[in-house]
Amino acid sequence: MPFVLGVAGGSGSGKTTVVERIRAIVGPGHLALLPMDNYYRDLGDLPFEERVKTNYDHPDAFDLDLLVEHLEALIEGRPVAMPLYSFVEHARRPETETLRPAPVIVVEGILALYDPRLRERMDLKVYVDADPDVRFIRRLLRDLRERGRTTESVIEQYLASVRPMHLAFVEPTKRYADLIVPVGGQNTPALEVLASRLSHALETV
């Protein structure tokens, strides 16, 4: 059976850094990554103005049923057609990506530890933590560089949905974590603990 790892934490907390460390530990071709960002519900039938106004930080914004279905398939050794998402268009892209089973499966996203169906399939649950100001700055820079946003739109979205949804839904999932990684992905001792746990797990996979 593959080793299933959940990596949760607020937007801009450093989850990507942690996942890249995991990828380096397990080696090329040994990790199947399920980013929750790819599992936003398809709102392509809505006008663009309506898509922009959607609260993308609420659990209802995600197709959690499909994510659970794909996780189960990978655990059982079956490949999945993972959806892809455009943050510029706020809609699913027409193409999908074939994701094949691997010894380590990672579910990564702000609400990776939210759904009990996901948690019960995880062998290790990680919450990546960081100060709110650091998370906001990282999100701001990312959205400006990669997602075609303006400073004003990022600030407006942060105040209207990101911050309140973090407090209501993301932060509370910290209690489900087996390992909390403070100071984002820059916490070397915590990452070393994670590396040790993963290395031990891989010996039994």
3-state secondary structure of 54: coil
19 found inside a domain: yes
Res 28: pLDDT: 78
186 found inside a domain: yes
pLDDT in tens, 67-113: 999 999 999 999 999 999 988 888 899 999 999 999 999 999 999 99
| Whole-Å CA distances, 22 to 9, 32, 45, 89, 143 | 16, 11, 37, 30, 24
Range of the domain at 166: 3-199
DSSP calls for 123-161: SEEEEE---HHHHHHHHHHHHHHHS---HHHHHHHIIII
How many CA atoms are closer than 13 Å to the CA of 3, on its beta-carbon side? Answer: 18
Residue 9 in this model has a pLDDT that exceeds 80: yes
Whole-prediction pTM: 0.89
Res 184: pLDDT: 67
pLDDT in tens, 10-39: 988 889 889 988 888 888 789 999 999 999
Helix (H) or strand (E) holding 86, with range, is: strand 80-86
Res 50: pLDDT: 84
- Torsion sign (Cα): 185, 108, 198, 80: negative
The residues, any chain, with a CB within 8 Å of residue 93's CB and separated by 6 or more, are: 83, 84, 85, 86
Res 126: pLDDT: 95
17 found inside a domain: yes
Q: Which CATH number covers residue 9?
A: 3.40.50.300
136 found inside a domain: yes
User: What is the mean predicted confidence (pLDDT) over 42-62?
Assistant: 87
Residue 7 in this model has a pLDDT that exceeds 90: yes
- 125: exposed, middle or buried (C-beta count within 10 Å: 0-12, 13-18, 19+)? buried
79 found inside a domain: yes
205 found inside a domain: no
Res 205: pLDDT: 63
pLDDT in tens, 120-135: 999 999 999 988 888 8
pLDDT in tens, 133-152: 888 898 899 889 888 888 99
Whole-angstrom distance, CA of residue 101 vs CA of residue 30: 9
pLDDT in tens, 139-191: 899 889 888 888 998 898 888 888 999 999 999 999 999 999 987 667 788 88
204 found inside a domain: no
Whole-angstrom distance, CA of residue 197 vs CA of residue 83: 30
CB atoms within 10 A of CB 199: 11
Count how many domains the chain has. Answer: 1
Are 5 and 124 in contact, with CB atoms under 8 Å apart?
A: yes
